[in-house]
Amino acid sequence: MRCLFACLLSLGSTLFSAQPNVILIMADDFGYECVTANGGESYQTPHLDRLAASGMRFEHCHSQPLCTPTRVQLMTGKYNVRNYLKFGTLMRTETTFGHLLKKAGYATGICGKWQLGHEKDAPQHFGFDEALLWQHTRRPPRYANPGLELNGKEKEYPEGSYGPDLVNDFALDFVTRHQEKPFFLYYPMILTHDPYQPTPDSPDWDPKIRSEAKQRDGKHFAEMVTYMDKLIGRLDAKLDELGIRDNTLLLFTGDNGTGKSATSRFKGADFPGGKGSTTHSGHHVPLIVSWPAVIKQGQVNRDLITCTDFLATFCAVAGTPAPDGIDGVSFLPQLQGKPGTPREAIYMWYSPRQSKDLAVKELAFDHHHKLYRTGELYDLQSDPHEKTPLNGQHPSRVKLQAVLDQYKDTRSAKLDRQFEQSGVGQSKKDKKKNNVAN
């Protein structure tokens, strides 16, 4: 059976039987260093480790340094320089992987954290048949006694309900109901963003709490990581139970680096979280891919992957053309054990744009060096925290400058004018709300 799936896929067939199910799980504020299989030493991630051992673990996957910029880039396959308007917004003119897989015949669902526009129809507008979301039309608590929207309508739950459990229940129900046809489930998890609160498995779990007050207890962060891993294992087990695990492509990644208040042990040293920073700790995220019908066990891949690449990969998997004008490169060949066309470098345009400050950070990097538009060049091997820029000319400077030059005129003045007209002059209250929400 595995050979049949692999052969059909390699021939590029769009036959129904050749279309695998696709599940993309994305943890919130969860960097590369948090997974034990990657060298992490602080947390228990047995289900992720098992998926890595039975599939493929990527060592060089990179997101944007913050939540909304990554989500926009991930869903559209485009660098933010082309289409990022402002925090908490995905422009309704954009085409997403939801649209594309739905058009290819997939049942499409999304569950977890939204943060891409308050319109009630937003998930359906962007290609998702079904949705259970937090931070869609409102922003109530996300953990104990959460406020969620089911297809844009506020949903009430019994006291003591735990948001990540409710979202996971939706995921299990979705794959169960759609097991007879190919489905695409995008699962941007609520965990492990602060506040770092007890989970239902914690000794001090309080089912009556109704607060989003900031808590940054490292003990509770570790418990949240363990609970997140448990929920992933629960979904994986459901796929096995349904008999559809072999032909389900399951991917796990993070939306940005770990929160700055969490310091982890990684390969024998302390590793502070770097969320929001353009150093590697802010955008180096895990990528673990499991697809038993296709991927050989225990593979480790060192190719450069960016969050723009997921859309292109999903289109290739589904046998549907990727749209013109995207920046993503499919890594399906690597999953099939082929060389593929690995990137030589990654470009980044980063601006959260939550105030009148239009400061933008532009950079390009490969495995060894990082160059900023402003001229600073860093050796990522000897100076991963980018403390001391290199002086003078260097071969990597020429290479990476060429990457930056490709995008020097890409940002449109029209998009910047849209930003100026979209409420950039926020009140202090609004700014505080957005900063809490990220």
CA–CA separation, 101 vs 79, rounded Å? Answer: 20
pLDDT given for residue 8 in this prediction: 46
Nearest-angstrom CA–CA distance, 193 and 37: 21
3-state secondary structure of 332: helix
Q: pLDDT per residue over 289-338, tens digit each?
A: 999 999 999 999 999 999 999 999 999 999 999 999 999 999 999 999 99
The single residue listed with the structure tokens 């299989």 is 37
Buried-state track 202-237, b at ≥16 Cβ within 10 A, e below 16:
eeeeeeebeebeeeebeebbbbbbbbbbbbbbebbe
**Would you state the pLDDT for residue 358?**
61
> What does the pLDDT look like over 229-283, one tens digit per residue?
999 999 999 999 999 999 999 999 999 999 999 999 999 999 999 999 999 999 9
- 148-150 and 153-155 as β-strands: parallel, antiparallel, unpaired? antiparallel
Whole-angstrom Cα distance, residue 229 to residue 66?
A: 22
Percent of the chain with pLDDT over 70: 91
Tell me which residue of 310, 377, 436 sits closest to 26, measured CA to CA. Answer: 310
- Running DSSP on this structure, what letter comes out for residue 196? B
Residue 229: name the closest of 86, 64, 42, 99 by CA.
42
Q: What is the mean pLDDT of the chain?
A: 92
For residues 115 and 90, give the distance between their C-alpha atoms in angstroms, rounded to a whole number: 9
The letter for the amino acid at 366 is: D
Q: Backbone dihedral region of 268: left (phi > 0), alpha (psi from -120 to 50 degrees) or beta? A: left
pLDDT band, residue 420 (cuts 50/70/90)? confident
pLDDT given for residue 394 in this prediction: 92
- State the average pLDDT over residues 188-193: 98
Spatial separation of the C-alpha atoms in residues 401 and 406, rounded to whole Å: 9
Flag whether pLDDT at 355 surpasses 80.
Answer: no
The H-or-E segment that residue 184 falls in is strand 183-188
Superfamily (CATH H level) for 2-344? Alkaline Phosphatase, subunit A (3.40.720.10)
Q: Give mean pLDDT, residues 207-214.
A: 88
Alpha carbon distance 372, 10 (integer Å): 39
Give the mean pLDDT of 207-235: 92
Instruction: DSSP for 16-82, please give it.
Output: GGG--EEEEEEESS--GGG-GGGTB-SS--HHHHHHHHHSEEEEEEE--SSHHHHHHHHHH-S-HHH
- pLDDT above 50: residue 430: no
Count the Cβ atoms, other than its own, within 10 Å of residue 36: 17
State the angle between helix axes of 218-242 and 163-177 in degrees (0 to 180), rounded to the nearest 10. 10
pLDDT tens by residue, 116-163: 999 999 999 999 999 999 999 999 999 999 999 999 999 999 999 999
Q: What is the pLDDT of residue 422?
A: 73
3-class secondary-structure state, position 421: coil
Q: What is the pLDDT of residues 63-78, one digit of tens each?
A: 999 999 999 999 999 9
- Alpha-carbon torsion, ordered 278, 279, 281, 283, to 10 deg: 40
Q: Where in the sequence of the chain do the CATH 3.40.720.10 domains occur?
A: 2-344
Contacts of 426 by beta carbon, 8 Å cutoff, 6+ apart: 354, 355, 434
306: its two tokens: 């960016």
The CA angle 106-18-110, to the nearest 5 degrees, is 25
Residue 437 has pLDDT above 80, yes or no: no
| Number of CB atoms found within 10 A of residue 410's CB | 13
Full-model pTM? 0.93
Distance CA 18, CA 335 (A): 15
Q: What is the rounded CA–CA span in Å between residue 309 and residue 77?
A: 6
- How far the first Cα of the chain sits from its last, in Å, is 43
* Cα gap 168→171, rounded to integer Å: 5
Largest CA distance in the chain: 63
Higher pLDDT: 213 or 403? It is: 403
Burial class for 105, CB neighbours closer than 10 Å (0-12, 13-18, 19+) = middle
CB 161 within 8 A of CB 145: yes
* C-alpha to C-alpha distances, 151 to 101, 188, 257, 390, 418, nearest whole angstrom: 19, 16, 29, 51, 28
Model confidence at 13, in pLDDT bands (50, 70, 90)?
A: very low
Query: Quick one: CA torsion of 87, 92, 94, 100, rounded to 10 degrees?
Result: 120
